[in-house]
């Protein structure tokens, strides 16, 4: 066991004290892991739009003060009672959802939506005792998505920690613990485009580009990128996109444009925006008889999906997916292996890098729409 096992660790964390205000680097006390928990030394983390969304207090129930962050990589420092499959020194990816391996979802070969550890944006404490493992300035600091990776050390439920190849470079694979795996899996695991097929990807942010990358890996012959921001088109070519459509350039619904381009519709579509109109377009643009549309984006709570039932009766298939249908502990390591085997190119998703002390620059990049992923180095 490490020399710090069982002890409180004092380290630095970036704390959000209130909505929309720059994060503050503070000293925090991180308690030891309790039963079925793991304390991880975070080495690299990156900023995901979900962090920004809840930091801006656009989420359901804002909780402050809070330590954000959920896309990261690190090394196990110590483990709590009952943890058998992780040990100090293991390289790991924290995950915003989990896999308890005991519930009906975890035992199902088809589901990755763990009953115990499914994403919960409202919970700011640990499951076992309803307490935080972080303390700063004499008060508890809330957790975020069970990970809170904007801290040099963090405590997580063992079910939300995926052990990966010890040779994997953590400064690269850290970006695989959320958005990229979500988009990649939406294509590879859910849409499953046949070789030589056509795929439309709605939304060319990081998740959408990962979906395009999945189509490229699958051997799709036509990958049509759909976005209202034409500045993204050139970059998307690196991820396999062969054609582009900006809905604003046409005086007819984009699904009709795509149907005309593809002699009746694409074989598969993946929607990565969360915009309800884009979701409907993604479904209605697939070919009747065999087309499959996969929804990835998260819509607003009042959104309503409307389409004529004949679109379903004509044998189009509509699917939704969560985290690309990857089970975190048993499935995510395979994504890392795709990178290690040079099947998946991760570097092109990484457009910026900053030191932990400059973490607010990462927020600036995202708020300005600059780049895809910014790596935050916890040391140096």
Determine which one of 4, 26, 118, 235 is catalytic: 118
106 is a catalytic site residue: yes
48 is a catalytic site residue: yes
Determine which one of 11, 29, 103, 242 is catalytic: 103
The two tokens of residue 279 are: 């979701």
What are the strands, taking DSSP E only, across the chain?
9-15, 24-30, 37-46, 71-79, 91-94, 134-136, 139-141, 153-157, 161-163, 198-202, 222-226, 243-245, 268-271, 292-295, 317-320, 350-355, 373-377
374 is a catalytic site residue: no
Determine which one of 37, 39, 50, 284 is catalytic: 50
**Within 13 Å and on the Cβ side, how many CA atoms surround 242?**
14
Determine which one of 114, 174, 241, 374 is catalytic: 114
The CA distance from 161 to 104, in Å, is: 20
178 is a catalytic site residue: yes
11 is a catalytic site residue: no
377 is a catalytic site residue: no
Determine which one of 37, 45, 71, 222 is catalytic: 71
Determine which one of 37, 45, 66, 100 is catalytic: 100
241 is a catalytic site residue: no
The CA distance from 296 to 293, in Å, is: 10
Residue 359: phi and psi, rounded to 5, are -55, -30
118 is a catalytic site residue: yes
Distances (CA, A) of 131 to 127, 134, 156: 8, 9, 12
Determine which one of 222, 316, 352, 373 is catalytic: 373
Determine which one of 106, 241, 285, 374 is catalytic: 106
Determine which one of 11, 26, 29, 49 is catalytic: 49
* DSSP summary character for residue 310: H
Determine which one of 143, 157, 174, 178 is catalytic: 178
103 is a catalytic site residue: yes
Determine which one of 48, 241, 285, 374 is catalytic: 48
373 is a catalytic site residue: yes
Residues that are catalytic: 48-50, 70-71, 100, 103, 106, 114, 118, 178, 373
């Amino acid at each position: 066991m490490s020399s710090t096992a069982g002890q409180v660790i004092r380290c630095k964390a970036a704390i959000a004290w209130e909505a929309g205000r720059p994060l503050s680097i503070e000293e925090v006390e991180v308690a030891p892991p309790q039963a079925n928990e793991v304390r991880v030394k975070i080495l690299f983390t990156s900023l995901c739009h979900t962090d920004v969304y809840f930091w801006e207090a656009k989420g359901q129930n804002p909780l402050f003060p809070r330590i954000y962050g959920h896309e990261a990589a690190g090394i196990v420092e110590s483990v709590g009672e009952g943890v058998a499959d992780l040990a100090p020194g293991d390289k790991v990816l924290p995950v915003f959802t989990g896999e308890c391996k005991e519930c009906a979802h975890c035992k199902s070969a088809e589901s990755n939506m763990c009953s115990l550890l499914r994403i919960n944006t409202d919970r700011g404490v640990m499951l076992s005792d309803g307490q935080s493992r972080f303390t700063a300035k004499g008060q508890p600091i809330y957790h975020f998505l069970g990970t809170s990776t904007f801290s040099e050390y963090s405590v997580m439920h063992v079910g939300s920690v995926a052990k990966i190849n010890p040779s994997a470079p953590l400064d690269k694979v850290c970006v695989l613990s959320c958005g990229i795996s979500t988009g990649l899996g939406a294509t590879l695991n859910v849409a499953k485009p046949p070789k030589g097929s056509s795929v439309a990807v709605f939304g060319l942010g990081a998740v959408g580009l990962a979906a395009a990358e999945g189509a490229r890996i699958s051997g799709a012959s036509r990958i049509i990128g759909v976005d209202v921001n034409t500045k993204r088109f050139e970059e998307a070519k690196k991820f396999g996109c062969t054609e582009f459509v900006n809905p604003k350039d046409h005086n007819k619904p984009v699904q009709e444009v795509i149907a005309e381009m593809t002699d009746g519709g694409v074989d598969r579509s993946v929607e990565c925006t969360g915009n309800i109109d884009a979701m409907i377009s993604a479904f209605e643009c697939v070919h009747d008889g065999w087309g499959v549309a996969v929804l990835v984006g998260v819509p607003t709570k009042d959104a309503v999906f409307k389409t004529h039932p004949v679109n379903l009766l004509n044998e189009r298939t509509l699917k939704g997916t969560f985290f690309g249908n990857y089970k975190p502990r048993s499935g995510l390591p395979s994504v890392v292996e795709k990178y290690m085997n040079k099947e998946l190119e991760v570097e092109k998703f990484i457009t910026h890098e900053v030191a932990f002390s400059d973490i607010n620059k990462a927020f600036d990049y995202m708020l300005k729409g600059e780049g895809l992923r910014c790596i935050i180095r916890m040391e140096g």
